[in-house]
Amino acid sequence: MDVSEKSQQSDGIPHPLWMFWKRRRYIVVFMAFLGFFNVYALRVNLSVAIVAMTEVREVDYGNGTIVQEQYFDWNSQMQGFVLSSFFYGYILTPFLGGFISNKLGGNYVFGVGIGTTAVLTLVTPLAAKAGLGWLIGVRVIEGIFEGVTFPCIHAVWSKWAPPSERSRMASIAFAGNYAGTVVAMPFSGIFAQQYGWESVFYIFGAIGCVWFVLWTYMIKTSPEVDRGISAAEKEYILTSLGRTEGVQEKIRHPWKAMITSLAVWALVASHFSENWGFYTLLTQLPTFLKDTMHFELTKTGFISAVPYLVMGILLFVSGYLADLSQLKGWLTTTQVRRYFNCGAFLGQTVFMITGAFILKPTATITCFTIAVGIGAFAWSGFAVNHLDLSPKSAGVLMGISNTFATIPGIVSPIITGYITTNKSDDEWRVVFYIAAGIYLIGCVIYWLWASGELQPWSIEAQEKLAKERSEEKNGIGGGYVNKMKIEDEL
Q: Greater confidence, 181 or 215?
A: 215
pLDDT at 11: 64
Task: Report the C-alpha gap between 406 and 408 in whole angstroms.
Answer: 5
Structural contact between residues 272 and 407, judged by C-beta atoms closer than 8 angstroms: yes
Structural contact between residues 176 and 40, judged by C-beta atoms closer than 8 angstroms: yes
pLDDT at 486: 37
- Of the candidates 445, 444, 415, 449, which has an alpha carbon nearest to the alpha carbon of residue 432? 415
CB crowding 476-487: b at 16 or more within 10 Å, else e: eeeeeeeeeeee
- Of the candidates 165, 237, 239, 167, which has an alpha carbon nearest to the alpha carbon of residue 3? 165
At 321 the three-state DSSP class reads helix
pLDDT at 276: 94
Task: Report the C-alpha gap between 50 and 192 in whole angstroms.
Answer: 10
- Of the candidates 270, 269, 304, 279, which has an alpha carbon nearest to the alpha carbon of residue 413? 279
Residues 294-347 have pLDDT tens digits of 887 677 778 888 888 888 888 888 988 998 998 888 999 999 999 999 999 999
How far CA 325 is from CA of 329, 334, 381, 386, 400, in Å, comes to 6, 11, 13, 19, 28
Sorted by sequence, the CB contacts under 8 Å of residue 13 that are 6+ apart come out as: 22, 23, 230, 232, 233, 236
Q: Is the pLDDT of residue 429 over 50?
A: yes
| Residue 452 phi, psi (nearest 5) | -110, 15
At 44 the three-state DSSP class reads helix
How far CA 472 is from CA of 186, 319, 390, 467, 481, in Å, comes to 63, 40, 25, 9, 8
pLDDT at 249: 57
Residues 431-459 have pLDDT tens digits of 999 999 999 999 999 999 999 998 988 87
Task: Report the C-alpha gap between 455 and 56 in whole angstroms.
Answer: 56
pLDDT at 9: 47
Largest CA distance in the chain: 99
Using the Cα atoms of residue 270, residue 315, residue 285 and residue 74 in order, give the sign of their dihedral.
Answer: negative
Q: Using alpha carbons only, give the angle 376, 419, 45 rounded to the nearest 5 degrees.
A: 50
Residues 349-368 have pLDDT tens digits of 999 999 999 988 889 999 99
Amino acid at the residue 473? K
pTM for the predicted model, two decimal places: 0.70
Task: Report the C-alpha gap between 191 and 170 in whole angstroms.
Answer: 31
What are 67's strand-pairing partners? 59
Q: Greater confidence, 257 or 245?
A: 257
Mean pLDDT check: name the lowest of 79-83, 121-125, 441-445, 473-477. Answer: 473-477
Other CB atoms closer than 10 Å to residue 61's CB: what's the count?
Answer: 8
- Of the candidates 328, 277, 341, which has an alpha carbon nearest to the alpha carbon of residue 307? 277
| Residue 185 phi, psi (nearest 5) | -65, -55
Mean pLDDT check: name the lowest of 126-140, 158-172, 272-286. Answer: 158-172
Sorted by sequence, the CB contacts under 8 Å of residue 52 that are 6+ apart come out as: 71, 189, 192, 193, 197, 297
Task: Report the C-alpha gap between 459 and 450 in whole angstroms.
Answer: 19
pLDDT at 15: 65
Helix (H) or strand (E) holding 92: none
Structural contact between residues 45 and 200, judged by C-beta atoms closer than 8 angstroms: yes
Q: What percent of the chain has pLDDT over 90?
A: 36
DSSP 350-389: HHHHHHHHH--HHHHHHHHHHHHHTHHHHHTTGGGHHHHH
Structural contact between residues 386 and 397, judged by C-beta atoms closer than 8 angstroms: yes
Task: Report the C-alpha gap between 488 and 485 in whole angstroms.
Answer: 5
Task: Report the C-alpha gap between 301 and 250 in whole angstroms.
Answer: 47
Residues 254-292 have pLDDT tens digits of 888 889 999 999 999 999 999 999 888 877 888 888 888
Mean pLDDT check: name the lowest of 27-36, 130-139, 229-238, 255-264. Answer: 229-238
pLDDT at 68: 65
Task: Report the C-alpha gap between 148 and 112 in whole angstroms.
Answer: 9
Structural contact between residues 219 and 26, judged by C-beta atoms closer than 8 angstroms: no
Q: What percent of the chain has pLDDT over 70?
A: 85
Q: Is the pLDDT of residue 480 over 80?
A: no
Provide mean pLDDT across the span 465-470: 67
| Residue 68 phi, psi (nearest 5) | -100, 130
